[in-house]
Amino acid sequence: MKLILDKKLAANYKNASQKARILTEEWVNNSVFCPNCGHLNIDKYPNNQPVADFYCANCHEDYELKSKQSALGTKIVDGAYRTMLERLTGSNNPNFFLLNYDMANLEVINFLVIPKHFFVPEIIEKKKPLAPAARRAGWVGCNIILNNIPQTGKIFFVHNGQVEPKRKVLNNWQKTLFLREEKEISAKGWLLDIMRCVDKLGKKEFTLDEVYAFEKELSGLHPDNKHIKDKIRQQLQLLRDKGYLTFVSRGCYRFT
């Protein structure tokens, strides 16, 4: 996988944002394989498609591309807030490609995919409506909060200028496909919250008591649940049953 953007492709464009869009879209179109099935090429939809930018002709996964020149940071600007929330419960919600590039050197720095099954309302931040004087007065946009996505939901093809092995990308994708089986948004939210809490421990192996330490935080996220510790145990058992975690011994788990 070459990480250089082909400047010749945007030679006829003067606008900087147009140049960036052409260069990044063409890089993805020519360089990226499908993380779901491994198909060597994904294809670009015609411009102005309402749902996605790319698709895999082999397995029919859709992908939307977000690119930015600055570091990825903690937020990604997206479109209309209401549209995003509607897409979360729809069958046409695409996976997200995120591309971070250096325009001065025409290089790709980071490129990752966030599978669509990690998208729940908790990762969407509602922005303030546009001012009355704005051309689209009252329009409400949104941001994607990257910090609210578990680390396993950020699958890198390129990380800090280094290309990840294809087999690693495919394995990381397969590891969390079980989340697609959960159609209830609130139930999926619980699983993702536990996955994120386990991430914060920063350890390959951890104990049940260490996850119990997040009881107060989880209670704030789920105020209607009065049995947080019971729920923690249940979710860890589900993650174990799906092969995401391995049960080591009483009260002890390990990442698979």
- What digits encode the pLDDT tens for the residues 139-183? 999 999 999 999 999 999 999 999 999 999 999 999 999 999 988
> Domains of the chain (ranges plus CATH)?
1-177 (3.40.210.30), 182-256 (1.10.10.10)
CA dist., res. 254 & res. 256, Å (int): 6
Asked if 85 and 119 count as a contact pair (C-beta separation under 8 A), the reply is no
87-101 mean pLDDT: 85
Of all residues in the chain, the percent with pLDDT exceeding 90 is 74
Backbone angles phi, psi at 203, to 5 degrees: -135, 150
Of all residues in the chain, the percent with pLDDT exceeding 70 is 98
CA dist., res. 88 & res. 83, Å (int): 9
Tell me how far apart the 2 most distant CA atoms of the chain are, in Å: 64
Is the entire prediction scored with pTM above 0.85? yes
Asked if 252 and 205 count as a contact pair (C-beta separation under 8 A), the reply is yes
Asked if 106 and 23 count as a contact pair (C-beta separation under 8 A), the reply is yes
